[in-house]
Structure 1
Amino acid sequence: MSDIFKERHAKLGSMVLRLFPKVMQMILKYYVTPNGLQKRFSKNDFRLVFTENEVVLMEKLPKIDDFTIEISYKILRFEFNMLDEPKCKWGNVPHDTEVEIADDVQRLINATHSIIKINTEEVTAQYSEKLLEEIKCMVTRIDSYLEQDDLRNLYTSLCRSETDSSSILQDLTFVKAIEESLPDTESDKRERYSRLSIPIIDIFPKILRDVIRKCEPVAKFLHQRCVPVLTTFYPEQQRIIEELQYSNTYDSLDVSSIYHILRRLKLIPQPTKDWGTLPDKVDINLGDDVERIRCYRNNLAHRSDTKIKKNEFNEYFNEFRSIGHRMDLYFSQPTNYEQEIVDCRTCGMDTAMQAKYENAMMEIENIKLRFEKRPIKFYWGDDFDTWLTNLRSLLKEEKIEGRQQVRVQIIFQNEEEVERNIVVLNSLTEEINEGLSGIEFIVATKGSLVLNVFILVEMLETDEKLLTTLAVFLEKILARITTVTSETIDIVVLPVEGLLVILN
């Protein structure tokens, strides 16, 4: 190998070993005083979990001259949340026009990874010159931000100085890739739930009010259109609809009420896969997005916990943003729903705000533990209670006879081997249904383990009958699938939209 390749790689390596740690130390000192860090560390007031090597560095506080790139980055981003999200989002490559401090921190991390991973024989003159120019621009901007010129001077000094190529390349082998994310904490998961709650509580209701306002601008006229079908709504929804004739505004309508009005009055085209079913990604008409809003709202409101993993969080937000984008295109007046949703992802959130949205979500459905037969815990909310009450009243008043069925959904919370268990259950439906009394099921395949269960109406006459039937059924299911290795299994029971009573 030519010495020139070693020299180029070593020159870049000196930036990683000597310049980049100094950059991160200075940014850290700009936001947080070393004495303040020392005080918090002495009180064990950090939520971060430090490695053994990092503990040694923290014990040297207020001296931070030996702080690595990673420990400075971890403290700034994960402990104090001082760095705003880069426009490209963490872990990506910033555009040349993106020049905020967080964008340059991301460039520094990307450069570090590139320099420590590249093979020496691949360090061409073009690669080296381009990267050095990027580093020069980066430290110049950061100096300007910090109102100094120390980093540019250090960069110039390193470029001009002689390098011991072998020594630097050897030291470079000990530099590890920077972890750009931390293991999930319970607090992280709950914060994600609260962030997802903001569009559900604040933005989606506004979107649907705009939809129904476009269909019928005058609220009292909408009330008149609802009168012929008013008895098909729940009593609380009937009350809200009756008030429209006096208030002449849609501000009192929630997601559930608007959804039922749009559907009952056929004010918009029905979703591609019909009402009550989550649309596929390719289904993007107005009805599809109204159905998505209902499904996502219910999925989050029906959870038995408030913990959202990172991948699930990203999937939800990508879907939410797409809905906002299409709705911005749908309305003739200017709206900004997509940006409002994007802002929810990174907006400041203190504990009071987190609790506010978490509680608001929980109040939508009021999900509670209703019954336990180890290892199964059964949860359901107000919707299911209302549904049961209405069904039992109907059975009593109409004196329905014969073997009729109703459909409910049973959702396994925190199920990890979804795809495998869906395949297993789909292959065993006939076998499982054969020995059951008063119940049969099919399996849904939308992202989580969902059982669509058809139950004979006589099994719903009392809570005791219902719970005993479900327990026997689920014991048979659990004997055939691999579930989460935990002491308990959380099951959420839901009524299925639009399927109250079905003839067998």
Structure 2
Amino acid sequence: MALSKYESTRETTNFARIARAILGPCADVLRDVLTKEISPPELKRELHKYLLNCKTPPISQKQKQLVNNGDYSKFDISLIYFLLRNTCSIPPHPKGWGTPPDPSDKSLSANVERIRFLRNEWGHSTDLSLTEPDFERNWKNIFEIVKDLEGYLGTATVYQDALKKLKICCMDPDSIELYIQKLLIVEQLENDFTNLKEEVEQIKKHVMVEPACPMGTVIYN
């Protein structure tokens, strides 16, 4: 993308701050929740049990390796959400995993869900600018989610303090481009993995219906 799209206008800077908030404090607080919910050895065992019941892998081989390595700091929001939902004993919010929770719902699963929707919403955005009123509204929403999750963790206000600094810190054009690209690249990775799974399914179907060829038979396409 041309750098002109990331010139330091108020609107593009607002978008970049949202991107930093999602990729930074939102992701980090989810990692802390995962750390509290399950240890790396337990996570590895639970993931193995879960995958045994899956006909097609819901996560990539690279993601499985990350789990096996046990370094939560390497997990992105998508992987953390998947693990919290499927390997931990967190009750789903009343509307169920995968759906937007009720605005008044302050449960752990509701706030985990909200961060996933934030990442999806902004990661798939085509408008890379944000007006001041929209920025303030979205920033307040993000802050409340992080505040609730830190309340659940029972720790200090580390991520709330980080958000306060992010909201007013200086951002140059290069950093604006960097954080926007980091957020938007998630969409391409998701599309690539989805396409790969579809190709694998097509190959499986083809193999199941294709009759075996006698030895020496020549196949012409």
Report the TM-score range of the alignment, normalised by the length of the smaller protein: 0.7 to 0.9
For residue 280 of structure 1, give the secondary structure of its aligned residue in structure 2: coil
State how far apart, in whole Å, the 1-side matches of 2:181 and 2:191 are: 19
From the two aligned structures, give the one with the greater helix fraction.
2
Equivalent of residue 361 in structure 1, options 168, 183, 186: 183
The amino acid that maps onto 1:349 is M
1:271 aligned residue: 93
For residue 304 of structure 1, give the secondary structure of its aligned residue in structure 2: coil
1:429 aligned residue: none
Matched, 1:390 2:200: no
State how far apart, in whole Å, the 2-side matches of 1:244 and 1:321 are: 28
Query: Gaps spanning 5+ residues in structure 1: where?
Result: 1-184, 367-381, 400-504
The Cα shift of 1:303 comes to 0.9
Report matched runs for 1:110-259 at 5 Å: 187-216=9-38, 218-230=39-51, 232-235=57-60, 238-245=61-68, 247-259=69-81
| Mean CA deviation greater in 310-319 or 224-233 | 224-233
The Cα shift of 1:201 comes to 1.1
**2:40/2:70 contact within 8 Å kept:** yes
Q: How does the TM-score come out when normalised to structure 2?
A: 0.79
What are the superposed Cα offsets for residues 262-282 of structure 1, whole Å, 9 maximum, x if unpaired? 112243121231122222311
1:288 aligned residue: 110
**1:189/1:309 contact within 8 Å kept:** yes
The Cα shift of 1:361 comes to 1.4
Report matched runs for 1:360-439 at 5 Å: 360-366=182-188, 382-398=189-205
Q: 1:303 to 1:258 in 2, by over 3 A?
A: same
What are the superposed Cα offsets for residues 129-182 of structure 1, whole Å, 9 maximum, x if unpaired? xxxxxxxxxxxxxxxxxxxxxxxxxxxxxxxxxxxxxxxxxxxxxxxxxxxxxx
State how far apart, in whole Å, the 2-side matches of 1:327 and 1:254 are: 17
**1:240/1:252 contact within 8 Å kept:** no
- RMSD, aligned CA: 2.2
For residue 9 of structure 2, give the secondary structure of its aligned residue in structure 1: helix
What are the superposed Cα offsets for residues 100-137 of structure 1, whole Å, 9 maximum, x if unpaired? xxxxxxxxxxxxxxxxxxxxxxxxxxxxxxxxxxxxxx
**1:220/1:244 contact within 8 Å kept:** no
Matched, 1:341 2:166: no
The Cα shift of 1:392 comes to 4.5
**2:41/2:70 contact within 8 Å kept:** yes
State how far apart, in whole Å, the 2-side matches of 1:343 and 1:313 are: 15
What are the superposed Cα offsets for residues 320-342 of structure 1, whole Å, 9 maximum, x if unpaired? 01012111211133242222222
The amino acid that maps onto 1:267 is S
The Cα shift of 1:301 comes to 0.5
State how far apart, in whole Å, the 1-side matches of 2:161 and 2:8 are: 28
For residue 339 of structure 1, give the secondary structure of its aligned residue in structure 2: helix
State how far apart, in whole Å, the 1-side matches of 2:192 and 2:73 are: 26
Report matched runs for 1:321-332 at 5 Å: 321-332=143-154
State how far apart, in whole Å, the 1-side matches of 2:185 and 2:23 are: 11
Q: 1:311 to 1:278 in 2, by over 3 A?
A: farther
Q: 1:243 to 1:386 in 2, by over 3 A?
A: closer
The amino acid that maps onto 1:355 is E
The Cα shift of 1:347 comes to 1.4
The amino acid that maps onto 2:42 is F
The Cα shift of 1:398 comes to 4.0
Q: How does the TM-score come out when normalised to structure 1?
A: 0.37
Equivalent of residue 125 in structure 2, options 303, 308, 323: 303
Q: 1:269 to 1:197 in 2, by over 3 A?
A: same
The Cα shift of 1:234 comes to 2.3
Q: 1:186 to 1:305 in 2, by over 3 A?
A: farther
The Cα shift of 1:259 comes to 0.6
State how far apart, in whole Å, the 2-side matches of 1:398 and 1:267 are: 35
The amino acid that maps onto 2:63 is I
Query: Gaps spanning 5+ residues in structure 2: where?
Result: 1-6, 207-221
State how far apart, in whole Å, the 2-side matches of 1:319 and 1:213 are: 24
How many residues are aligned here? 196
The Cα shift of 1:396 comes to 4.7
The Cα shift of 1:344 comes to 1.7
State how far apart, in whole Å, the 2-side matches of 1:329 and 1:365 are: 31
The Cα shift of 1:229 comes to 2.4
